[in-house]
């Protein structure tokens, strides 16, 4: 596993368009930041790729950067395109289908436990 791009003790700027990686018939993910307060992951999906239905214990935001996908949130499929932002609550079933090659930024926040 490679090191996150952003370090918690240094500022930086990144061009997401040039940093997004794609693989023929695949999905490429790259962790940009990982810390106690959350994680940011950049994804590149080739057309036709899918992530099957699953859940996560994290609160999440998905920002579509380029292209289009179908995104399952709970029991409803949504067509998302560049510029769209989706919010997922912890434990929500979700899935992704790449209608065309697309990229997204996933931001995960752990829920506080008391």
Across the range 79-108, mean pLDDT stands at 97
Residue 16 belongs to some domain of the structure: no
28 inside domain: no
Domain membership flag for residue 112: no
Q: What is the pLDDT of residues 13-29, one digit of tens each?
A: 988 998 999 999 999 99
- The sign of the torsion formed by the CA atoms of 38, 49, 86, 59 equals negative
User: 51-64, pLDDT tens digit by residue?
Assistant: 999 999 999 999 99
- Split at pLDDT 50, 70, 90, the class of 30 is very high
Cα separation, 24 vs 12, whole angstroms: 30
pLDDT at 97: 98
Token pair listed for 99: 């209608």
Residue 59's pLDDT is what?
96
Q: Is position 42 within any domain?
A: yes
Q: Is 0.85 topped by the overall pTM?
A: yes
Backbone angles phi, psi at 53, to 5 degrees: -55, 135
Q: Are 106 and 60 in contact (CB under 8 A)?
A: yes
Domain that holds residue 72: 38-100
Domains of the chain: total: 1
CATH number at residue 78: 2.60.120.10
Strand ranges inside 46-101, DSSP E:
50-54, 59-66, 68-73, 76-81, 85-88, 94-98
Mean pLDDT score, 63-90: 97
Domain assignment present for residue 19? The answer is: no
Give a yes or no: residue 86 inside a domain: yes
CA atoms within 13 A on the CB side of 76: 5
């Amino acid at each position: 596993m490679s090191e996150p791009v952003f370090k918690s003790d240094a500022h930086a700027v990144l061009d997401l368009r040039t940093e997004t990686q794609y693989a023929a018939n695949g999905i490429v993910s790259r962790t940009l930041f990982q810390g106690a307060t959350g994680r940011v992951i950049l994804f590149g999906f080739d057309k036709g790729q899918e992530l099957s239905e699953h859940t996560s214990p994290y609160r999440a935001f998905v920002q579509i950067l380029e292209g289009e996908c179908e995104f399952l949130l709970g029991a409803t499929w949504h067509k998302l395109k560049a510029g769209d932002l989706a919010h997922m609550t912890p434990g929500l079933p979700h899935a992704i289908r790449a209608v065309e090659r697309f990229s997204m930024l996933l931001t995960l926040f752990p829920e506080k436990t008391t």
